[in-house]
Amino acid sequence: MNIETKYFGSMIVDEEKIIRFEKGLPGFKDEKAFVLIDFPDNPVFQILQSTTTPSVAFVVASPYHFNKEYEFDLAEEIKEELGITKPEQVNVLSILTLRDPFVESTINLQAPLIIKADSLVGQQMILSEGYSSRAPMQAEKVKVD
C-alpha cells in the first residue's frame, strides 16, 4: 500500500503491519489506521504515521527506554477490547515532543499507547495519576560536591 508521510514523503507499507485504533486517538478520533516507521539510523525512535492523513504523525518510543521504573495497571476494559490475555502480547509506546535543544524534549508518560503485538490493534490509555504528559526524556543531572 502506498501512503504519503509527514517526514518521509511517499512510501510503500505492508498492509499487514497497519495498527488499528478503532476508537481513534484523543484529538484524532477519525484517525484509525497507523503504521510504525523506523527512524533512520536510530533504533530508539519510530514514527506512528496515519495511513490516511500525511500530517498526522507522532514520534514515539518505548517509555521503558527513558524510565526503567515506569509501570501501570492495564485497564480491564482495554484488555477485553484488545483481547489481551498475557503481558507478552502488549507493546507500550509513548508519544514524544521533540524540542530544540533536544534536552528540552518531553515524553508523555500519562497517556501510553497500548498495542496488542500479534493482532496490531491498539488504544491510548489515559492514566489518572502518577505520571506527567510532559516528563523530561533525560534525567536531571545531579551535582555532587
What are the chain's domains?
A: 2-135 (2.30.290.10)
Q: Strands 33-39, 19-20: parallel, antiparallel or unpaired by DSSP?
A: antiparallel
Give the pTM.
0.91
Is the pLDDT confidence value at 57 over 80?
yes
pLDDT for 83-137, tens place per residue? Answer: 999 999 999 999 999 999 989 999 999 999 999 999 999 999 999 889 999 999 8
